[in-house]
Every structure is written in structure tokens, then in C-alpha cells.
Structure 1
Amino acid sequence: MIKAKDFYENNVEKNSKKSNVLLKKINIISWSRLIIVIAMMLIDYLLYKADKYTSLIFNSLFFISIFIGVALYHNIKLEDKKRIDVMIDINQKGLKRLSGEFRKSEDNGNEYLDYNHPFISDLNIFGQNSIFQWINSTVSIGGREKLVDLLSLKENLNKNEILEKQCAIKELGEKVEWRQKFILEGSLKKSSDRKLEELIEWGKKKGSMNFITIIISCIFIFINFSSIFLAVVNILPVSFLLLVFMIDFIVIKFLTKDINTDIELFNNIKNNIKEYSELLALIQDEEFNSNYLKKLKNNLSNNDISCKIEMKKISNLLDWIGDSSYNAFYLILNILIFSDVFIMRNLALWRERNGDNIDTWLKVMNEFDALNSIANISFDNCDWTCPSILDSNEIYGNEIGHPLLGDIAVKNTFSLKDQQKVALITGSNMSGKSTFLRTLGSNLVLSYIGAPVNAQNFSCGIMSIYTCITTKDNLEESISSFYAEILRIKTLIEACKRGEKVFFLLDEIFKGTNSKDRHTGAIVLINQLIKYGGIGLVSTHDLELCDLENQDKKIINYNFREFYKNNKIHFDYKLRKGKSETQNAIHLMKLAGIELI
């Protein structure tokens, strides 16, 4: 973390100095532009008063040329400052990840919260103070959605692929400058949040532009320039020229009526194409060592087709497309040389060559975008460890901490292996039971996406995660929190019966019923989970459940404790073997001022 902190701080400091220097230059250039205009107007006025009109024209042209040059230089410096300011923001976000200020980020993925998902709502995957909010630095919509899919564990988990992803994440973590350049390029040219499914669909279309359309366009272009020449030499009146242009406009509308949708599509996404062209070029130009990244990159080259070259071609083509509704220059250009027709013809030829590759190329870019976010974990936490992926349904590790708590996380050692299948976690209120369940669950999720985990060492099998930690009433469906808990447990049991390798995290199960039913139900549930091959943790206040350890070697007890100092309750949040020997409910009531008779 110290290494990452130094890197981010040095970059913020270095780029802030550059930004300040550029700001001074930009201000000087801005004043220079004003001085040039004033000087031109003053000298032109003096020349006008002296009746030196030829000198006035040359003087105006001279100053206008200088003004244009200075304006272009001004735009270059503005663009340079914009890039530097984006880089400052990227590194400041890195510092916020380290300090915990990432919680202030507006993009927390709250829309992806799914209370029907086996674990999303319980493990802080999305929403406020979530893993998504912590690591997300994606610059494309597809990359963001890919990150969501990875964190939701939607893909089938495979040991070899997880191990390959670990190497990929580690490599990308070390390529922090390349990742920041990726984020920079993806942040500069953003246009809209328009998805690119329409581009993919366009790529799948077949057919090219009608050859007759090209012939007709060429004929009218010849007529245009012939008419202009004849009008210049006074053979044709200017009014005839206007008539020719009006006819051109009608002909263009007729010839492009079948491709108007495509023209509109490219008008809307040409900035996205330029952005994605830059990102794909970055990927293709970079050398990768890990097999997973190499395989991803290889999808960008197919025989004699290079994604970088082809995306540059379509990006350059789209630079010529202008919205004739708002761009007078493009309207004139379109009328003179039928630019819409020829641009769309070239795009059709490009589609014949590359249309089937668009989807693949974008998927590669999206996955790199998502993996770059996960690589933030690797770079920011160099003292974390890559977990060992086991073939057996086991989980154990030393000094395991919650990934979102950073330096304040209290770390614990835990083991559930060999014949042990269920860990009963007891302890008083606020002692750390629920947090520990979330600690194991969130580190499991990180393990499965190839990220390092907050532990000294960590080993786990590949299992389906099911949780029941926080249940809510659903007034629309008339479901109480207790019944919602029953439904989640039902889903868990069904998964076990289907033969899934299940890892469960159950917090104070059946808390919505009386103590006798809760005790009986818990025993039945635990026995069923063991019977059908599930392993996991159950936290409970029911100390009698701990007697199960003596009856079944597959059950083991752990506990959290509290202690009192100066009549105040304190917790060390340390996990210990055995059942809890303390309770604090009555003491907490007394501390709150509630008189107990």
C-alpha cells in the first residue's frame, strides 16, 4: 500500500505542477489573441484613414493568419492541460481507494443490487461501500457491465482459468502506467452512454452499396463542377447554379434514404469509435506475458486483419461524417461531392472485411477494461496474497481481513477442512460475527475473479456461494423478513440437492421465530446441509447448538468475545475456537439507561 500511495502522490504532485505551468501559458496565449485582434483593428483603422486599402487587406490577412496559428496552439495547450487534469484525477481516485474515501463516489453500482441473487446483497458487492464502488475504474459501458458480471460470478468457475486470471491480474497490476493511459484515453473522448449493440448488428448485415447509386452520384458530381465552371465564366447564371444544388439535395436524400439509419447511427457513435480505436490500439501495441492476456490480445489479429489498423480506418472514415442538420460546411460538401454516398460505400466495404470481428474486438476491450479495475486491488495492496485454489471443498487461511476495511480490519485465522463441514460462530451482539461472515464471503469472491485477497495466506475450493445475512420485508409481495429468510434457505437446500458444491454463510438463522422452533429448525437445517454436501458457517446466539460439536465431528465451534473496562463494553473482534461464554444484551440495556426490574 505504501508503494501505491507514493506512486499516486508523486503523480498528483508532478502533474499538478505541469497543470499550473500550462494554465499560465494558456492565460498568456488568451491575452495574446486579444492583443492580436486589437492590433489588427488599430492598424487597419490607420490604414483605412490613410486610404491604403491594399495594405489594409494584406495587414488583415497577416494578422488573421497569426491569430489562427495562435488559436490552434491555444487548442493544443488546452488539450494538453485536459489530459494532465484527467491524469491527476486518476491518481487522486487511487489515493481515495487507499484512504477509504472511495465511499464518496457516486457510481456505486446500486442498480445492480439483486436481493434474489445468492450473495450479492449480503457481501457488499454493489451499492454504497461496496467492492464495485471501491475498484471500478472502467471507461466503457461494456467494460462496466463485464466487471458487474465478473463480480456476480455469472461465468462458470474453472480452476485453470482462475489461476490464469491471477497471473493476468498481477501483471496488469504492475502495468500501472499502461492502465492509467488506458483510463486516460477512454476518458477523453466520451460522447454519450449509447450502447454499441447497433454497431454490432450493423457489422452483421451483408451487402454493399448499389453500383447504380455510385454511377448516379458521379454523374451529378460532374454536373456540379461543370456548372460551377460555367457560372464562373458567366456562361450560366448563378440562379441556375442554385437550382442544380437544390436538385443535388433532393437526389442525395433519395439515394441515401435506405442508409439514413446507418448515417444517424455513425453520427451518434463516432466519438465512441474514436475512443475504442485508441483503446484497442493500446492493447494491441502492448506486450503481455501471462497466457490469459496473450489469448485475449490474439483475438485482435486474424490472418492479415489487424484490429488496430482497421479500427483506425473506420475512425478516419467517420471523421468525415457530419450532421448536415447543424453543420453548414458538411451540407455544402455533401451537395458538391455526395460525401454521404461515398463514405457509406467505404463503410460498407469495411464491413465486408471486418463486420464479423466487431463483436469479438469489443469483447476483448471490455474484458481488459474490467480486468484493469480488478488490477487496482493488486497494485494498491502489494501485501495481500494470491489464494490457492483447491480441488476439495475446503476453506482456510491466516490473518484474514475484510477487503473493504483496509488497515483497520481486524484479521483472523480460520479453518474449515478435512472432515469439518460446518462452523458454528457464537458471540455477543456487535462482537463481529456478521462482519466475519462477510469477510470470508467477499474474499471468496475476490479469489474466484483472480484477485489477491486480504490475508497472509488463503486457500479455498471452487464452490457456489449462498448467503442469508440480511433479509428484508417485501411489502409489495407481502413477504416478511422471516419468510424471506425461509425462501433463501430453501434456495440453498435446493442447490445442495442439485449437487452443487455449496459454501453457505448464515447469520442468526430463524431469528424471526421462538427459541424452541429456532433451535429445532437450526439442527434440522445443519444436518441437511451436511447430508447434501454443503460446507459453511452459521452464526447464532443459541449456545445450545454448540453441543452439536460433541455429537458430530463435522461441526466445529468458534466464538467472538467482549470485555469490560470502566463500565464500558469493548470488543477485540478476534476469532477463537470453542463456544462463547459471554453475553452482553443485559449489560447493553443498562448502559442505554434501561432500568431492569
Structure 2
Amino acid sequence: MDISKKFYEDKIAENVKTSNILLKQINIISWSRLIILILMLLIDYLLYKNGEYTSLIVSSIMFISGFIGVVIYHSNKLEAKKRSDIIININKRGLDRLSGEFKKFKDNGSEYLDENNPFINDLNVFGQNSIFQFINSTVTKGGRERLVNILGLKEEVNKKSIVNKQFAIKELADKVEWRQKFILEGSMRKSSDRAIRELIGWGKKGNSIKFISVIISYTFIFVNFVSILLSLMNILPLSFILLVFMIDFIVIKMLTKNMIEDINLFNDIKNDVKEYSEILSLIENETFESEHLKELKDKLINNQVSSKIEMKKISNLLDWIGDSSYNAVYFVLNVLVFSDVFIMRKLDLWKNKNGKYLEKWLDVMNEFDALSSISNLAFDYKNWSYPIILDNSYICGEDIAHPLLGEKAIKNNFSIKNSEKVALITGSNMSGKSTFLRTLGSNLVLSYIGAPVCAKEFSCGIMKIYTCITTRDNLEENISSFYAEILRIKILIEACKKEEKVFFLLDEIFKGTNSKDRHTGAIVLIKQLIKYGGIGLVSTHDLELCDLEKEDDRIINYNFREFYKDNKINFDYKLRQGKSETQNAIHLMKLAGIELS
């Protein structure tokens, strides 16, 4: 049994057992709460009926204290069960990834599909049955955005950064228990819809509370307590206290009128901040060996200011923030001691000390979140390999397979190196040409993000990926699939002319035109791509293109074949050198019932 599969199954079994035990305890505690409440009412009634008022008060205090204790204990057990259930779900998702059932994961990143991107759509980076859907386990909004940028190769890719990420991902893969704690803490609380950028923006703003507001607040608090004292001494009537509180309410509204937006923000994101606090503590408390992870962790401590300590402080402060419109207890507290003013004052002091670090801390958390997702691949697939990053524009691999196809994937060897520039892939319909193009492209993307690839061995240079595999009509812009293909080819040519290191994957180019134009256009394009330094693969049904190999040793031929058994067409999806010698279109027509004679 695979190590990863056994780990997931053991964790599920362990936590299912724990969850069941906790459920029984929770049910017992629930009944205990009801029994305590009934006993309190019964005993208090008997004491009241017998006129034992002192005993009644003592009894009530004891029962209420016991009830509160049981409620707290019950809450702790509910949280413990929730933690076990989350761990169960985390490990079930792990098994789903291994079995290819990741396609049912709801978050597939389809909003990031982009027809104008040179490779994202063709290589299934986002959308249904995509790399994003396969690996994503991020639990923070910023981490998800970071993973999207990484997969989209939005940042400059270089050999040093790739190698550093490889070591980081290897290390995180081995820290599977730690990664699951990371996911657990990020899944415990319901996040708000307010963007993380709003919290960062608050950290860069000026102070909300002026010192004069603090002086005014202290003055009114003093008046409040003096008024209450005088009322208890029967010097002032109760109506005067109510008047004082009404004035307090008006004053608080005046003092905090410029803080309403911040107060609403804090009400919305307090759960997020608590989540960030727990996650940053996990990072800061962990020991890392890889250079990239150590550099990230070092950013969490600035001038002896610790992110875990300071984020815990702001989390505790935000716990005091309450919406006085819905929370009666907080309303009374706010009127009595001007809590909004003093909490915002403390938040200002926190911001003055830590606001400049906040964005950096959250960036570190997001990077760990994204890298942890990528590490799922390294832990789940121990037989995958980390690619060797070359200084030249070569690709060479042994037993290369598509990372999303699981056990169904067929492994092939392939190389394009030295003077070779273009590999022509021929073969009949459904023989595997398009899948192989995507196989190389997907593994290149994984290579550039520091992940292991689905191959026994894989070496590649750093190149910009351009694809033209699936083109569609765009009715809104009145663009046919053929013209869409032409536009993509134009972008590719322009990139080559700019002397970018280009790797292209072209599937059945110029398929929207007649065979003569298609043949002529393909020859001109291939020669032009070679001229401007591009390298890549071109799949085609045009067997005459294979003659280019005789004219130019920079062009090499590969093919896929089919075979027939019991009057049925079969494919082995194995890549072979040389041009295709078989075609299946006529046979497929006959199988469809089309009479050709």
C-alpha cells in the first residue's frame, strides 16, 4: 500500500473513533445541562415556597455556576469534535486525490480561465478537471490568490527560485501532520467576505481616535459612576441615571462617527484575524531547514516584534468588538465605559507598532498556504520526480505521463535537445497526440512552480509556454475558431521575434482551412519558428510534413499508432520515433455505418 494512502486511511480511522466518542460525551453533557436547569428550578421553587431566601440565593449561585461550567465544557467538546471532523474531511480529500476523484471538489478556479493567456486554458491549469482543482487545499483567501498566481506563472521564473521552491516543497511534503494542522486552523472559523486587503489598508491608515476623545471618555465614565453611586445612596433619582446614559450614547456616537467603517470591518473579519493568528503561530513555532522557508519565517520577526504575539493581541482586542445594534450586553458596556473608544484606541496603538509589518506577515502566511497545497503532490506521489532545471532550451524525460490521469496515464519517453527544434507528432484520430502535448505542457508548468512532475526523470530549460490546442468560436466578438487560431499563432511569432525563449505546443494547426493552404501554411510557420529560435511540438494529420525531417535535421518525427482487434480499433498511446504509417478515418466511418462504396 502507498505510504500516503495508508496515512490518510489511518488518520480517518483514528479521528472517526475520536469523533464518535466525543459525540457520546456531547449527548451526555447536553442531558446534564437540562437536568441541572430542572433541578435548579425545582429546588429554588421549594426554597422560595418555604421562605428560605438566603438558601435560595446560595442555591441559585451554585447551580448557575455549575451550569456555566458545563456549558463551557460542552463548548470545548463541540470544538474538539469539529476538529476531528475537519481532519477526517482533509484526509478523505487526500484519498480522493489519489483515486482521481478530485473532479468533485467544488473549487476548480474556473473564474481564472483566460482565452488570452498563452497556455492556461489548453493545459487545464484552471477549471473542471484542472491542476488547480487537483492540488488546491488553501484555507486563506490570500493563499488561494497566491496559488493562482504561481500556477499562472505570473512571476519571473528562474533556476534559483525553482530549486529553492523544490527544497521547500520537499520539506513541507514530509511535514504532513503540520500541514494538516495548518488546514485545520484555517477551516475552524467561518471567514468573512471582506477582502484581506481591507485589513492591510487599515494597517496603513492614520489613527482613528484622537487624544481629546480619550479625555472626554474618561470624563463621562467618571460622571457615570458618580451618578450610579449617588443613585444607590438615594440622592439622585433613577430617571437621572437614564438621562446620563442617553447623553452617553449620543456622545459615543459623536466620538466614533468616523470609526463606523473600521468597527464594521473588525466585526466582519474578527474570525479571519483569529485564524491568521493561529496559522502564524504554527509557522513561527515550526523549525524549517530549506532556505526559502527559513527566509519566509524570518520575516515574521521584525525588530523583536513577533507576529504570533502581536496577532494574538489584535485577535483578543477584536473579541471585545461588538455590534451594539444586536448585542445588548455590549450596548450596556459601551454606554457605561465607552468601550468602543478605548478598544479603538488600543487598536490604534497596535497599528502604530505593527501596521507596517502586517502585509509582510500575511504575505508569508499566503506563501505557506500555497506551497502547502503544491506539497500535496510531493506527499501523494512519491514515485514522481523533481525535474532538473537546465540552462539551455532542452526537454528530456523518461516515463512521462499526464499528471491528472492517474493510473490510466500511459508513460512515454521524449526528448528534444541539441540541434533539434521541432518535433512533428503524427498519428490517427484519437491516438493520443493532443493528450501528449498537454502532458508535456502540464509537466512543464509543474516544473516551473517547484513541484515534482509525473515522470521517472525529467529535465527542462526555462521557457515561455505558448499553446494552440483548443480554439473556439467567439460569438460575442464575431471571431471564428480559425481566426482565433491565427491570433494565437501571431502572438507566438511575435514572442519569438522578441527573442523570448519560447516552447510551443501546436495541435493540428490551420485545421480550419483547405488541405493545400494548411500544408503550405504549416511549412512556412515551422520554418519561421525555427528561424526565430522557438522550440516545440506540432501535431498533424498531414504526413507530407514529415518530409521536412529530410530537409532539416532540426526537425524530428514522432508518431502514435493504432491496431485492430475483432474489427475494433485499439490504441496503445505509445510514442514512437518516425512518421505515422497508419490512418483510421475510413475505418471509423465504416464503424459508424457510413457506406463508402
Q: Give the TM-score normalised by structure 2.
A: 0.98
Per the alignment, residue 448 of structure 1 pairs with: 448
Per the alignment, residue 167 of structure 1 pairs with: 167
Instruction: Report Cα offsets for 1:422-452 as digits up to 9, x if no partner.
Output: 0000000000000000000000000000000
The count of corresponding residues between Structure 1 and Structure 2 is 597
Q: SS in structure 1 opposite 2:142?
A: helix
Within 2, Cα distance between the matches of 1:270 and 1:72?
21
Q: SS in structure 1 opposite 2:106?
A: coil
Per the alignment, residue 105 of structure 2 pairs with: 105
Within 2, Cα distance between the matches of 1:516 and 1:33?
84
Amino acid at match of 2:203: G
Q: What's the CA shift for 1:207?
A: 4.3
Alignment of 1:55-70 (within 5 A): 55-70=55-70
Within 1, Cα distance between the matches of 2:260 and 2:48?
51
Per the alignment, residue 567 of structure 1 pairs with: 567
Within 2, Cα distance between the matches of 1:465 and 1:491?
12
Per the alignment, residue 320 of structure 1 pairs with: 320
Per the alignment, residue 144 of structure 1 pairs with: 144
Per the alignment, residue 93 of structure 1 pairs with: 93
Within 2, Cα distance between the matches of 1:205 and 1:54?
56
Is it true that 1:25 corresponds to 2:25 in the alignment?
Answer: yes
Alignment of 1:222-301 (within 5 A): 222-301=222-301
Within 2, Cα distance between the matches of 1:29 and 1:358?
41
Amino acid at match of 1:502: V
Per the alignment, residue 484 of structure 2 pairs with: 484
Q: What's the CA shift for 1:270?
A: 1.2
Per the alignment, residue 131 of structure 1 pairs with: 131
Q: What's the CA shift for 1:596?
A: 1.5
Contact 1:141 1:193 in 2 (8 A): no
What is the aligned-residue identity percentage?
72
Q: SS in structure 2 opposite 1:579?
A: coil
Within 2, Cα distance between the matches of 1:312 and 1:57?
39
Per the alignment, residue 411 of structure 1 pairs with: 411
Is it true that 1:516 corresponds to 2:516 in the alignment?
Answer: yes
Contact 2:471 2:481 in 1 (8 A): yes
Amino acid at match of 2:173: G
Q: SS in structure 1 opposite 2:364?
A: helix
Contact 2:273 2:315 in 1 (8 A): yes
Alignment of 1:322-471 (within 5 A): 322-471=322-471
Q: What's the CA shift for 1:363?
A: 0.8
Per the alignment, residue 472 of structure 2 pairs with: 472
Q: SS in structure 1 opposite 2:539?
A: strand
Q: SS in structure 2 opposite 1:583?
A: coil
Contact 1:208 1:349 in 2 (8 A): no
Q: What's the CA shift for 1:592?
A: 1.6
Within 2, Cα distance between the matches of 1:104 and 1:179?
22
Q: SS in structure 2 opposite 1:538?
A: strand
Within 1, Cα distance between the matches of 2:44 and 2:251?
46
Within 1, Cα distance between the matches of 2:47 and 2:217?
48
Cα 1:45–1:256 change in 2 (3 A) is closer
Within 2, Cα distance between the matches of 1:40 and 1:441?
71
Alignment of 1:193-208 (within 5 A): 193-207=193-207
Per the alignment, residue 591 of structure 1 pairs with: 591
Q: SS in structure 2 opposite 1:236?
A: coil
Q: SS in structure 2 opposite 1:505?
A: strand
Within 1, Cα distance between the matches of 2:45 and 2:231?
35
Amino acid at match of 1:185: E
Within 2, Cα distance between the matches of 1:170 and 1:190?
31
Q: What's the CA shift for 1:49?
A: 4.7
Contact 1:190 1:275 in 2 (8 A): no
Instruction: Report Cα offsets for 1:454-485 as digits up to 9, x if no partner.
Output: 00100000000000000000001110000000
Q: Give the TM-score normalised by structure 1.
A: 0.98
Q: SS in structure 2 opposite 1:129?
A: coil
Over aligned residue pairs, what C-alpha RMSD do you find?
1.2
Contact 2:393 2:460 in 1 (8 A): yes
Alignment of 1:3-42 (within 5 A): 3-42=3-42
Amino acid at match of 2:191: S
Within 2, Cα distance between the matches of 1:95 and 1:564?
37
Cα 1:326–1:208 change in 2 (3 A) is closer
Within 1, Cα distance between the matches of 2:244 and 2:24?
52
Unaligned runs of 5+ in 1: none
Q: What's the CA shift for 1:492?
A: 0.4
Identify which range, 35-44 or 330-339, moves more after superposition.
35-44
Contact 2:108 2:130 in 1 (8 A): yes
Identify which range, 256-265 or 460-469, moves more after superposition.
256-265
Within 1, Cα distance between the matches of 2:220 and 2:49?
48
Contact 1:110 1:126 in 2 (8 A): yes
Q: What's the CA shift for 1:53?
A: 4.3
Is it true that 1:580 corresponds to 2:585 in the alignment?
Answer: no
Amino acid at match of 2:199: L
Q: What's the CA shift for 1:57?
A: 3.8
Q: What's the CA shift for 1:285?
A: 1.0
Cα 1:45–1:316 change in 2 (3 A) is closer
Within 2, Cα distance between the matches of 1:567 and 1:197?
62
Within 2, Cα distance between the matches of 1:345 and 1:32?
43
Contact 2:413 2:575 in 1 (8 A): yes
Q: What's the CA shift for 1:150?
A: 0.4
Amino acid at match of 2:421: K
Within 2, Cα distance between the matches of 1:276 and 1:587?
61
Q: What's the CA shift for 1:68?
A: 1.8
Q: What's the CA shift for 1:50?
A: 4.2
Within 1, Cα distance between the matches of 2:42 and 2:310?
51
Is it true that 1:302 corresponds to 2:298 in the alignment?
Answer: no
Amino acid at match of 2:269: I
Q: What's the CA shift for 1:205?
A: 1.8
Q: What's the CA shift for 1:306?
A: 1.2
Within 2, Cα distance between the matches of 1:34 and 1:578?
80
Contact 1:506 1:539 in 2 (8 A): yes
Q: SS in structure 2 opposite 1:513?
A: coil
Within 1, Cα distance between the matches of 2:300 and 2:57?
55
Q: SS in structure 1 opposite 2:317?
A: helix
Contact 2:399 2:457 in 1 (8 A): yes
Q: Which 4+ residue blocks in structure 1 deviate beyond 6 angstroms?
A: none
Contact 1:425 1:540 in 2 (8 A): yes
Contact 1:424 1:555 in 2 (8 A): yes
Q: SS in structure 1 opposite 2:311?
A: helix
Q: What's the CA shift for 1:560?
A: 0.3
Cα 1:54–1:305 change in 2 (3 A) is closer
